[in-house]
Amino acid sequence: MNKIAVEGRSVGVTYDDNGNAHILVWVPLAKDKVELFLPGDNVTLPLQKQDAGYWHLITNQVKPDVIYQFILDGDQKLADPASLFQPDGVHGLSQTFNVNDFAWTDSHWNNLPLNKYIFYELHTGTFTPEGTFEGIEKKLDYLKELGITAIEIMPVAQFPGSRNWGYDGVFPFAVQNSYGGPAGLQKLVNACHQKGLAVVLDVVYNHIGPEGNYLGEFGPYFTDKYKTPWGDAINFDDAWCDAVRQYYVENVLMWFRDFHIDALRMDAVHAIKDMSPKHVLAQMKESVYQLMEVTGRTHHLVIECDLNDVRYINPLDEGGYGIDAQWTDEFHHALRVTAGQEKDGYYSDFKGIADLATAYKNAYVYTGQYSAQRFKTFGTEANENGGQQFVVFSQNHDQVGNRMLGERTSTLHSFEMQKLLAAAVMVSPYLPMLFMGEELSQPNPFLYFVSHGDDTLIEAVRKGRKAEFADFHAEGEAPDPQAVDTFERSKFEWELFEREPHQSMLQYYKALIRLRKQNKVLSSLNRKNIKVFYDEAANTLMLHRWHDGSYLISLLNFSGQQQSAELPFQKDTWQKIFDSADPQWRGPSASAEFVEAGSSVLLQPQSILIYQYTYA
């Protein structure tokens, strides 16, 4: 059973063209029998034992949309570990779902190349009043008008209750029931493609959440060889690991093939422990290539990884894992310290504008030097990796929600600094990402919230959140993650849409994104055509980029005072194409439209100016 089913899922319950159900479950340690139980009909169907610990059955008695569970050795009754739908949550029974029943209308859709992605990270439960996939669908025109090209949905794998970030999922194949289940996700993806929007889904392959985690009852899905911050690691390289690897590779393929997801963002892959000759990420990438050959569709893999190790994003034929892109937290850290973030916790490693200049030029800040915060030397150089392999941002769910009070930049920084932070991301030679609400300068927090059902676990989460902020010397009490109010306070405030200064910020973001998409220098992600100059005392930075005869100078002033900067070269006239301090964006004063090379230009406090020269 080691051959991955590229053309169709094998694990769980699937259906052939004749309506027969194919049932496959991995229970290598079952002593006697494995059965499928249909409580609605009070029918028990025995599975046949196969090689490598699998049990299998083909039957016409299991129809779509019926409740079922497995019975192990006549005793244990458990939901399907590859269930697609848990209508009653993590402790309930599974419900069959035929992925082929949905009538897709996106045959015209071609996934965007990564260099065209402008990400918008959102959380289904808090993005809309409904907190569902259907609610997101109602807001697609808003996102399209904003200029977004790809929505990134935080994890939807079934988690306990209805309030959770999604990283506590325990059924990797099941789509959260309170969001709309698998049918709702298919409908949303289809609607996104109709609007010309790509869909990125956040998935978690480094651990399984604590509540409702029954995988270990079926087989050795976990190993005690390694530990993650969340408990035992997934068994990717220990005894019986072949089936576990197949389980997760099939999960990747399912999202792409059966839900038409365009890209996956894999959470914290540095916590995936695998010493196999072929890393499981490389196996996933190989399988995605095989799927693409069959379907003709293109899919991307994006990772979160804090190791600064290009092995993850280098091509398979160069000994890498073949991942297409990664989140680049170090750009964020350097940017935020430059903007005034206190150097505590993981920010303590960053010096500010000098490191921001390094991030613009090198992608990674740490490329082999000593990290005082990590107590070790780490990082590799990424000189040969293109700009489309790095995703940058001024905030995301982690960097907001992992603050004790969940503050966004809107409450930490001035209106002018918020505009500068957004532009600093957009002028980079990397892929930009927004976190939901930043385009409206949303003042509400995005807090950490859960809805566990176990009192002991609830108390452990509360204590864990308090301990997490020890390195940040935070004062006061962390909001109760279990409280409904914590979740409600994190909701997107749509009523701000037409109020000031939120409307001005929205129009600013639209103009900024439009410039990013239309300007040939900004839309080119060639990392070779870039020079960076900075003045540490003035806290200013000059980013010089060029492409196809067009030259761009971005002047960033992170200080609270006016600063002057001299444009390079000794000839030519530079034309202003963007000015965050322009009064149309509620700024203090617009700068000159044209500036002669070699002359100085006045930078308003906490602002960005972009000038361009194009040879005829």
Which tops the pLDDT comparison, 402 or 555? 555
Strands 76-78 and 67-72: antiparallel
| Token couple for 39 | 């409580």
Alpha carbon distance 310, 322 (integer Å): 10
Residue 475 lies in a domain: no
pLDDT at 476: 73
Strands in 548-586 per DSSP E: 550-557, 563-566, 573-579
| Token couple for 20 | 């027969």
Residue 318 lies in a domain: no
Q: Binning pLDDT at 50, 70 and 90, where does residue 497 land?
A: confident
Average pLDDT over residues 547-571: 92
pLDDT in tens, 196-231: 999 999 999 999 999 999 999 999 999 999 988 887
Contacts (Cβ under 8 Å, ≥6 apart) of 23: 12, 13, 36, 45, 47, 56, 57, 58, 59, 62
Q: Which of 189, 290, 293, 206 is nearest to 248 (CA)?
A: 206
pLDDT in tens, 410-467: 999 999 999 999 999 999 999 999 999 999 999 999 999 999 999 999 998 888 887 7
| Residue stretches of the annotated binding site | 265-270, 329-333, 397-402
Last residue of some domain: 68, 99, 130? 99
Q: Binning pLDDT at 50, 70 and 90, where does residue 360 land?
A: very high
Alpha carbon distance 240, 162 (integer Å): 33
Structural domain containing residue 558:
528-614
Specify which residues 396 forms β-bridges with. none
Q: Please say if the pLDDT value at position 470 is more than 70.
A: no
pLDDT at 472: 56
pLDDT at 43: 97
Q: Please say if the pLDDT value at position 1 is more than 60.
A: no
Q: Binning pLDDT at 50, 70 and 90, where does residue 475 land?
A: low
| Token couple for 128 | 């809309």
pLDDT in tens, 296-352: 999 999 999 999 999 999 999 999 999 999 999 999 999 999 999 999 888 999 999
Residue 21 lies in a domain: yes
| Residue stretches of the annotated binding site for substrate | 265-270, 329-333, 397-402
Contact present, 552 and 610 (Cβ < 8 Å):
yes
Alpha carbon distance 204, 218 (integer Å): 20
Alpha carbon distance 404, 485 (integer Å): 15
Last residue of some domain: 58, 84, 99? 99
Residue 319 lies in a domain: no
Q: Could you confirm whether 475 is annotated as catalytic?
A: no
To 5 degrees, how large is the angle CA 27–CA 224–CA 216? 25
Residue 59 lies in a domain: yes
Packing angle, helices 280-295 and 241-259, rounded to 10: 40
Strands 550-557 and 607-614: antiparallel
Specify which residues 579 forms β-bridges with. 609
Report yes or no on whether pTM surpasses 0.95. yes
Contact present, 258 and 99 (Cβ < 8 Å):
yes
Average pLDDT over residues 8-17: 96
| Percent of the chain predicted with pLDDT > 70 | 98
pLDDT in tens, 40-84: 999 999 999 999 999 999 999 999 999 999 999 999 999 999 999
Residue 40 lies in a domain: yes
Q: Which of 168, 250, 262, 267 is catalytic?
A: 267
Number of domains in the chain: 2
Alpha carbon distance 271, 54 (integer Å): 28
| Percent of the chain predicted with pLDDT > 90 | 91
Q: 30: domain CATH number?
A: 2.60.40.10
pLDDT at 462: 86
Element containing residue 576 per DSSP (H, E): strand 573-579
pLDDT in tens, 365-380: 999 999 999 999 999 9
Which tops the pLDDT comparison, 558 or 478? 558
Strands in 62-149 per DSSP E: 67-72, 76-78, 94-95, 119-122
Q: Which of 35, 237, 304, 579 is catalytic?
A: 304
Contacts (Cβ under 8 Å, ≥6 apart) of 362: 381, 382, 383
Specify which residues 28 forms β-bridges with. none
Alpha carbon distance 532, 529 (integer Å): 10
pLDDT in tens, 279-290: 999 999 999 999
Q: 585: domain CATH number?
A: 2.60.40.1180
Contact present, 443 and 409 (Cβ < 8 Å):
no
Q: Which residue has the tokens 């310290």?
A: 337
Q: Could you confirm whether 267 is annotated as catalytic?
A: yes
Residue 76 lies in a domain: yes
pLDDT at 213: 96
204 phi, psi to nearest 5 deg: -120, 110
Q: Binning pLDDT at 50, 70 and 90, where does residue 614 land?
A: confident
pLDDT in tens, 148-157: 999 999 999 9
Packing angle, helices 329-338 and 415-426, rounded to 10: 150
Last residue of some domain: 78, 99, 120? 99
Strands 263-266 and 198-203: parallel
Residue 79 lies in a domain: yes
